[in-house]
Structure 1
Amino acid sequence: MSDLFPPFEPERVESRRARFKAIPFRLLAPNVVTLLALCLGLTAMRLIVEGKLETATICILIAAGLDGVDGRLARMLKGTSRFGAELDSLSDFVNFGVATGYVLWIFVLHDLKSFGWIIVLTLACAMALRLARFNVMIDDPDRPDWQKNFFVGMPAPAGAITAMLPVYLQMIGVPVQEYGAPFAGVYILFIAFLTISRIPCYAGKTLGTRVPRDKVLPIFVAVVIVAGLLFAYPFEVLTFVVVAYLALIPVSVARYRKLEREYAAPLPLSVEGGAPENPA
């Protein structure tokens, strides 16, 4: 008798209707950018096999730039989704773990034989672990807001860009490919360690949310100068950026420790009532 009169299940009816519901483009745009970055990372692997080291490096750099764009685009368009977050993590692993490691293997690490391949595996696994930890920390409801301005460990795109420093040095005339394989291997292991470490790195997510009016024109001029230098001397600029980024990590650590102490410090108590003073 129950087969003749099945119970009404509104969830199942709604799920059937959702299949035919149009999806807003704002939900698709960030995922399209992520897929473009994934295509660039995979193309870099083909280009390095064909001997096009410079073009392969540029593909990885553009993929890293697009990785910074898709998340901000999703937040700006209010198109964030769990699907997009998972796709972004998988794309990051391929681009900055697999493709970057493979480019470095063909470039210089193959000279170290099996030890060079162990370095490639270490870099790829470190990127996977770093991304897995990042996904878990996103869902932490007890994380203070000030900590959102810092990454725990070096982020995957920055790890790939800094790991490619031996390539930049080769492009500006340093004979890394001929004599620098051991130094490049140790350096790449160091970068892999930074990605899985708990060293705080400044995220800069709140950077540029508000710009004073008197700073607008100087910023425009600075952007033009940096863009001109990047097009005229790309690998020299990239080398400087990587060295400056690594040098600023201790500054980021000091800033994080200061904010951590301020957050952990007890609020001042009023003399009369014993309640926390109102800073307003």
Structure 2
Amino acid sequence: MKKKINFKEVFPNFITILGLCLGISSIKFAFELNFEKSIYCIVLAAILDAIDGRIARFLKSTSKFGAELDALVDFVNFGISPALILYFYKLNTLPKFGWILCLVFIICACLRLARFNSSDKLEKNTSDMFFNGVPVPSGAGLILLPIIFSYSGFSEQNLNMNIFVIFISITSFLMISKIPTYSLKSFKISRTAGVILILILAIYFIFLYQFTFETLLISGILYLLLIPVSFLHYSRYKKKNKNLDDSLISDDFI
């Protein structure tokens, strides 16, 4: 007797596959030099990537297959696609060096995902508070900032090749680095604060719909500013917990 398909098990994976279709479509649009649609596809893919795991946990249908599928789709959507978009947008004017930069980003994204799948813990009790380096979806958003900048009403003349090279180099380093960045896994709020958060998110998505590139540009800049903040926060947290551990050992011996 054939086993019936369980909707709860299939639905989260369907969302992941839908995100993959968007990621691949972004490459198609970039090849056609329609970079605006390419960015839209990446943004939608990122939204689906943010909710597929949560839906799986809500439906209690998490699986190893789903986790592996999500990692592979992330590599395509946020590793390969952004690099190719940037290549067709500007880096193809540097045929050899431009392609090498794309490969560097893709390789770093691959290494970052492999590290995440094997172990992404800064410390045992801080793994839900911080990521070990910049996550690949965030890295994709960062390297696309120069394109987003040019579509935000600013003159493209303000951008030169050096900016693209710097953005790819820094972002690639941030992904494979061990610089702690904030994670929302342990983000817990009260019911009242939850209502306020929903309102803020609703306003954010309204702005994202009406002023897509301007909102993305501001979001990217704010994320960059949060990186040193998260590093300082983690350093203080680690120092505080180290002191606590030392005091506990001393008390035991006393």
Fold equivalence (TM over 0.5): yes
Aligned partner of residue 119 in structure 2, secondary structure: helix
Aligned partner of residue 181 in structure 2, secondary structure: strand
1:157 shift after superposition: 0.7
**Unaligned 5+ runs, structure 2:** none
CA 1:165 to 1:267, structure 2 compared with 1: closer, same or farther past 3 Å?
same
Select the residue among 178, 189, 198 that pairs with 1:210: 189
**Unaligned 5+ runs, structure 1:** 1-16
Select the residue among 80, 87, 97 that pairs with 2:79: 97
Q: Which runs of 4+ in 1 moved over 6 A?
A: none
Counterpart in the other structure of 2:98: 116
Richer in helix (by share): 2
Is the CA contact 2:180–2:230 (under 8 Å) kept in the aligned structure 1?
A: yes
In the alignment, the residues of structure 2 paired with residue 269 and residue 56 of structure 1 have an alpha-carbon distance, to the nearest angstrom, of: 54
In the alignment, the residues of structure 1 paired with residue 159 and residue 132 of structure 2 have an alpha-carbon distance, to the nearest angstrom, of: 34
Counterpart in the other structure of 1:198: 178
In the alignment, the residues of structure 2 paired with residue 154 and residue 253 of structure 1 have an alpha-carbon distance, to the nearest angstrom, of: 12
Counterpart in the other structure of 2:203: 225
Larger Rg: 1
CA 1:256 to 1:269, structure 2 compared with 1: closer, same or farther past 3 Å?
closer
Q: What are the residue-to-residue correspondences of 1:39-78 with 2, within 5 Å? A: 39-78=21-60
Counterpart in the other structure of 1:163: 143
Superposition TM-score, scaled by structure 1 size:
0.82
CA 1:65 to 1:160, structure 2 compared with 1: closer, same or farther past 3 Å?
same
In the alignment, the residues of structure 1 paired with residue 181 and residue 210 of structure 2 have an alpha-carbon distance, to the nearest angstrom, of: 29
In the alignment, the residues of structure 2 paired with residue 262 and residue 255 of structure 1 have an alpha-carbon distance, to the nearest angstrom, of: 11
In the alignment, the residues of structure 1 paired with residue 86 and residue 15 of structure 2 have an alpha-carbon distance, to the nearest angstrom, of: 25
1:226 shift after superposition: 2.1
1:212 shift after superposition: 3.8
Counterpart in the other structure of 1:252: 230
Q: What are the residue-to-residue correspondences of 1:13-52 with 2, within 5 Å? A: 20-52=2-34
Q: What are the residue-to-residue correspondences of 1:131-146 with 2, within 5 Å? A: 131-137=113-119, 144-146=124-126
CA 1:75 to 1:218, structure 2 compared with 1: closer, same or farther past 3 Å?
closer
Tell whether 2:213 aligns with 1:235: yes
* Bigger mean CA offset, 240-249 vs 182-191: 182-191
Counterpart in the other structure of 1:264: 242
- Aligned-partner residue type, residue 73 of structure 1: I
In the alignment, the residues of structure 2 paired with residue 144 and residue 97 of structure 1 have an alpha-carbon distance, to the nearest angstrom, of: 28
1:246 shift after superposition: 0.4
1:154 shift after superposition: 0.4
What's the CA shift string for 1:156-186, capped at 9, x where partnerless?
A: 1111111110111110233447851221122
In the alignment, the residues of structure 1 paired with residue 184 and residue 90 of structure 2 have an alpha-carbon distance, to the nearest angstrom, of: 33
Aligned-pair Cα RMSD in Å: 2.5
Is the CA contact 1:112–1:181 (under 8 Å) kept in the aligned structure 2?
A: no
In the alignment, the residues of structure 1 paired with residue 31 and residue 157 of structure 2 have an alpha-carbon distance, to the nearest angstrom, of: 16
CA 1:254 to 1:179, structure 2 compared with 1: closer, same or farther past 3 Å?
closer
CA 1:171 to 1:270, structure 2 compared with 1: closer, same or farther past 3 Å?
closer
Aligned partner of residue 147 in structure 1, secondary structure: coil
Counterpart in the other structure of 2:131: 151
* Bigger mean CA offset, 220-229 vs 56-65: 220-229
Counterpart in the other structure of 2:166: 186
1:109 shift after superposition: 1.0
Aligned partner of residue 50 in structure 2, secondary structure: helix
Counterpart in the other structure of 1:4: none
In the alignment, the residues of structure 2 paired with residue 198 and residue 270 of structure 1 have an alpha-carbon distance, to the nearest angstrom, of: 28
In the alignment, the residues of structure 2 paired with residue 125 and residue 228 of structure 1 have an alpha-carbon distance, to the nearest angstrom, of: 35
In the alignment, the residues of structure 2 paired with residue 177 and residue 105 of structure 1 have an alpha-carbon distance, to the nearest angstrom, of: 18
Is the CA contact 1:152–1:198 (under 8 Å) kept in the aligned structure 2?
A: yes
Is the CA contact 1:150–1:200 (under 8 Å) kept in the aligned structure 2?
A: yes
Select the residue among 67, 88, 112 that pairs with 2:70: 88
- Aligned-partner residue type, residue 210 of structure 1: I
Number of aligned residue pairs? 253
